[in-house]
Amino acid sequence: MNSHRINSNPVNQERSRQRPTPTVMVTGSSGFIGQRVIRLFSSRGTSTIATYYHRLPEALPQVFPVCTDMASPELLLAPLRNVHTVVHLAWEGGLSSSLRPNQENMDVRDLLQPERMSKNLVMMANLLAAMEKVGNQRFVFLSAMGASRTASTPFLREKYAAELLLLNSKIKEKIILRPSIVTEADNPNDRFMRAVLRTMKLPLLYPVPRWPVPLRPIHVDDMAKEIVRAAETSRGQCTVIGEVCGHESYRVEELFRMMADKFFTGQKFALKGWIGDTLTPAFEREGKNESQYRFHRLRQFLALAQLPLESLANALPLGEEDTQTRSSFSESLQIAPPLQKREAAAGVPT
């Protein structure tokens, strides 16, 4: 599919003629995090090229949508002109990654072979090649906490392979952000929330998977702020890898209990230990929609709950905002719509 700018009505055409020189390009602009990022850029008056493929992003001042599948560097040359910073959020397959079944156990070095690259790695390589040709200065990449060569999930290994592509590129400013679980706790339709609620379908009990590391979820709005701050902070030629998480820690059983109390009437009993760990996959299975089960599997979220190696603030301060000002998961959960609690009592939203 060729890249093209969407100006299908007179309002967009007039806005296009009047826009200033764009400075930021955001890939995956209509996604869960991307839509928050472009809203922030718009509110700050930053002219933004918002690329998308499946769904048109929200119409906002100073935001100019471009449809592209990033299939080759040539398709990205035009959108990248006059852009200083690229924020790369697009990621095919979500937590399931874009790796084919025969690639899921491959070593990261094998994944980087041109003939074996997954769709996400091809898109990353094409974007970097186009940026090097145009001369863009800064690249902000959204990776994930726990990304490594020996990570437990294909998603994290694929993210690590993408990090290596960036680190070996000629881009001057390279910023890699590794967030923990990104959630919107005040919205029960959030993917992480749904993954937890899916284990609570039975009326009296629910399983709790064993996980040795406390969860430190970060609200999607706070994550968007960190991305924008990273994109707007000039550092000169450098490489930054920072991990981003919420300021509060929760044991898995504690977080499950909070959600059970919030969304269900009556008392529920938690099945812990090896029993809960064994039963979790059976409880969360949808059956009628196996692909959704795979995409939102709870253990794929838990794999993002790792002990932070280096916080973003400690690695390189991005501004005056302190991590203590980030939203609390427990506080956000309390303002979730009460109507959802009555609905959840009858059955978990699907």
Say how far apart CA 211 and CA 306 lie, in whole Å: 10
> What pLDDT score does 324 carry?
56
Q: How far is residue 96 from each of residues 153, 304, 337, measured CA to CA in Å?
A: 8, 13, 29
Q: How far is residue 349 from each of residues 78, 200, 292, 333, measured CA to CA in Å?
A: 43, 11, 13, 16
Query: Residue 24 forms beta bridges with which residues?
Result: 48, 85
Kindly state whether residue 253 falls inside one of the protein's structural domains: no
Q: Decide: 46 and 104 in contact? Cβ < 8 Å.
A: no
Q: Decide: 37 and 227 in contact? Cβ < 8 Å.
A: yes
> What pLDDT score does 38 carry?
97
> What pLDDT score does 33 carry?
95
| SS3 category, 27 | strand
> What pLDDT score does 331 carry?
83
Kindly state whether residue 29 falls inside one of the protein's structural domains: yes
Say how far apart CA 346 and CA 265 lie, in whole Å: 9
Q: How far is residue 286 from each of residues 64, 158, 290, 349, 350, measured CA to CA in Å?
A: 38, 26, 6, 12, 9
> What pLDDT score does 306 carry?
78
Kindly state whether residue 72 falls inside one of the protein's structural domains: yes
Kindly state whether residue 74 falls inside one of the protein's structural domains: yes
| Number of independent structural domains in the chain | 1
> What pLDDT score does 5 carry?
39
- pLDDT tens series, the chain, 350 aa: 344 333 444 444 454 444 444 589 999 999 999 999 999 999 999 999 999 988 899 899 999 999 988 989 999 999 999 999 999 999 998 888 888 787 888 888 888 888 889 999 999 999 999 999 999 999 999 999 999 999 888 999 999 999 999 999 999 999 999 999 999 988 877 889 988 988 998 889 999 999 999 999 999 999 999 999 999 988 888 899 999 998 889 999 999 999 998 888 888 999 999 999 999 988 887 555 444 444 568 888 999 987 666 544 444 444 445 555 777 888 888 776 643 443 433 344 44
> What pLDDT score does 286 carry?
59
Kindly state whether residue 47 falls inside one of the protein's structural domains: yes
CATH assignment of the domain containing 10: 3.40.50.720
> What pLDDT score does 309 carry?
62
> What pLDDT score does 330 carry?
85
> What pLDDT score does 97 carry?
82
Domain assignment of residue 134, given as a range: 1-171
Kindly state whether residue 157 falls inside one of the protein's structural domains: yes
> What pLDDT score does 345 carry?
39
Q: Decide: 297 and 284 in contact? Cβ < 8 Å.
A: yes
Among residues 280, 283, 260, 264, the alpha carbon closest in space to that of 272 is found at 280
Kindly state whether residue 182 falls inside one of the protein's structural domains: no
Kindly state whether residue 128 falls inside one of the protein's structural domains: yes
> What pLDDT score does 308 carry?
66
Q: Which pTM does this prediction carry?
A: 0.84
> What pLDDT score does 323 carry?
55
